[in-house]
Amino acid sequence: MSEKILLAVVGPTGIGKTALGIQLAKHFNTEIISADSRQFFKEMEIGTAVPSKDELEAVPHHFIQHKSIFESYSVGDFEKEALSLLDGLFQKKDMVVMVGGSGLYVDAVISGLDEFPEVDPEIRSRLNQQLEDEGLQSLQKELKQKDPDYYKSVDLENPHRLIRALEVCIASGKPFSSFLDKPRAARPFKSFYIGIDASRETIYERINTRVDLMMEAGLLKEAENLYANKDLNALQTVGYKELFEYIEGNCTLEFAISEIKKNTRRFAKRQLTWLRKNETILWVPYNAEPEEVLRMVTDRLKTNLYA
């Protein structure tokens, strides 16, 4: 194989991307790049479903727990580091597997980041103050008015994403979504998306089970250890925010767990909304036999139908 190919395994949270990524990496004798923005941080293990020790040892993984929550790390940083790593990996491999539920991070490596206008820091400061004074719903409502299209796909529980979209809307006078999906960046490799599919009922059932297993594994203790740093960007995420509310005495543990499940289901729905826009994805059933998936992937590779 003369051309270099990046296989991107995508799909909703809890659907089995790690397992499929490992199967593909073993079959093609290659390595895995993680594009899960929550798994970058070494202090967040249980709540981000970091691959197990056995899984990490099965094939080489990159970008797993390589940063601290105290470090600033953006999607732009990830794009640069991932492309640099790929340059090295493609010196010895014809194919590399990328696994992740963070669509923005996957697309950044494959297509490049969209360019946005410069924003006056005062706008961001004002929005941060709005978040503190009026809460997340205030930002959600404003984004729905200013950019209803992006409102439908963004993680509405992520204040960092909401503020980023709103500051661009305010600074430019245009919807944030109008700056998205520009012509893709040239890459020295071809990309191929593999999506794992299942019914909504199956996805939600797997999410509920995973949250229960996380709690059994000690997620509450992990959240308690991180509570002092709860305002850091890395911790503004499902699984921790809800338990911080419990730790502060604002709800029962049972309610916090139910909120984690509900918000994770919402997150999975938004992931699928993002992915369904990509018509190049090869969708495979979540419960397909490994041999069948490999056959589907191999057949698609022969067609030269890439992202």
Binding residue per annotation — 239? no
Binding residue per annotation — 15? yes
CB burial of residue 97 (10 Å; 0-12, 13-18, 19+) = buried
Binding residue per annotation — 303? no
Contact 170, 195 (CB under 8 A): no
Binding residue per annotation — 202? no
The DSSP annotation for the chain comes to --S-EEEEEE-STTSSHHHHHHHHHHHTT--EEE--TTTTBTT--TTTTPPPHHHHHHS-EESSS-B-TTS---HHHHHHHHHHHHHHHTTT-SEEEEE-S-HHHHHHHHH-PPP-----HHHHHHHHHHHHHH-HHHHHHHHHHH-HHHHHHS-TT-HHHHHHHHHHHHHHSS-GGGGSSPSPPP-SSEEEEEEEE--HHHHHHHHHHHHHHHHHHTHHHHHHHHGGGTTSGGG-STTTHHHHHHHTTSS-HHHHHHHHHHHHHHHHHHHHHHHHT-TT-EEEETT--HHHHHHHHHHHHHHT---
Binding residue per annotation — 218? no
What pairs with residue 6 in β-bridges?
96, 191
Phi, psi for residue 3 in degrees, rounded to 5:
-80, 150
Of 202, 205, 222, nearest to 214 (Cα)? 222
| Nearest-angstrom CA–CA distance, 129 and 120 | 15
Binding residue per annotation — 18? yes
Binding residue per annotation — 135? no
Q: Which residues are annotated as a binding site for substrate?
A: 13-18
Which residues are part of a known binding site for ATP? 11-18
Annotated binding residues, written as ranges, equal 11-18
